[in-house]
Amino acid sequence: MADKHGRSCCCCLFGILWKILVALIVLVGLVFLIFWLVVQPRSFKFQVTEADLTQFDYYTNNHTLHYNMVLNFTARNPNKKLSIYYDKVEALAFYEDARFANYDVITHMNSFRQYKKSTSPMSAVFSGKKVLMLNSEQVSKLNQDKSDGVYDIYVKLNFRIRFRLGDSISGNLKPKVKCHLKVPFSKSGTFTLFETTKCSVHF
């Protein structure tokens, strides 16, 4: 009899603990849902607004690409409640899967806080030369682009950002941004039109 009584008390204790656990999970879920609905966190938006390409020459004798390209970007924070700290942004430029340049867009020297509902400019300068082992297919693609006057360039940016809500600041987030660009060659004295290109942002 005593044994039976003890077991049922034990069961009822577990029953209570179980109910508390379920209630806690529901509560946490509810708090999270309310937070989400009130804050409506959204990613920043990123696009390339200008591209100025003045040199893109590949020499097969020494396998060297000589390049000169300036890109202007805008980053937009669409959030109503969150501001964004841009702590670090590194841009990598690729042609036909071959990385030819990188540039530190944002470092500790020019990192900044972007307030809600605002847009900020950034820019990258890729200039120099790089030894690249392009195969014959890639070289003929480059010659094609050269005769078209428009180069298919892929730019990937590695971000390090933090979100701020009121006085609380999130930990580091490292989204990646991908931009597939069609960059017209800028002949001196002629006006070349680059179409503003949206990039995709991946968290």
Ligand X SMILES: *[C@@H]1O[C@H](CO)[C@@H](O)[C@H](O)[C@H]1NC(C)=O
Q: How far apart are CA 186 and CA 118, in angstroms?
A: 30
Q: How far apart are CA 64 and CA 62, in angstroms?
A: 5
Residue 121 within binding range of ligand X, rule CB under 6 A: yes
Q: State both tokens at 90.
A: 């590194």
Residue 112 within binding range of ligand X, rule CB under 6 A: no
Residue 141 three-state SS: helix
Size of the site for ligand X (CB under 6 A): 10
Residues sharing a CB contact under 8 Å with residue 170, sequence separation 6 or more, in sequence order: 162, 163, 164
**Residue with the two structure tokens 């971000």:** 159
Contacting range for ligand X; rule: CB under 6 A; set: 14-22, 36-44, 93-101, 121-129? 121-129
Residue 123 within binding range of ligand X, rule CB under 6 A: yes
Asked if residues 114 and 89 have their Cβ atoms less than 8 Å apart, the reply is no
- Residue span 24-53 as binding mask against ligand X, x where in contact by CB under 6 A, dash where not: --------------------------x-x-
Contacting range for ligand X; rule: CB under 6 A; set: 27-35, 59-67, 89-97, 101-109? 59-67
Interface residues with ligand X (CB under 6 A) are 50, 52, 59, 61-62, 64, 72, 121, 123, 129
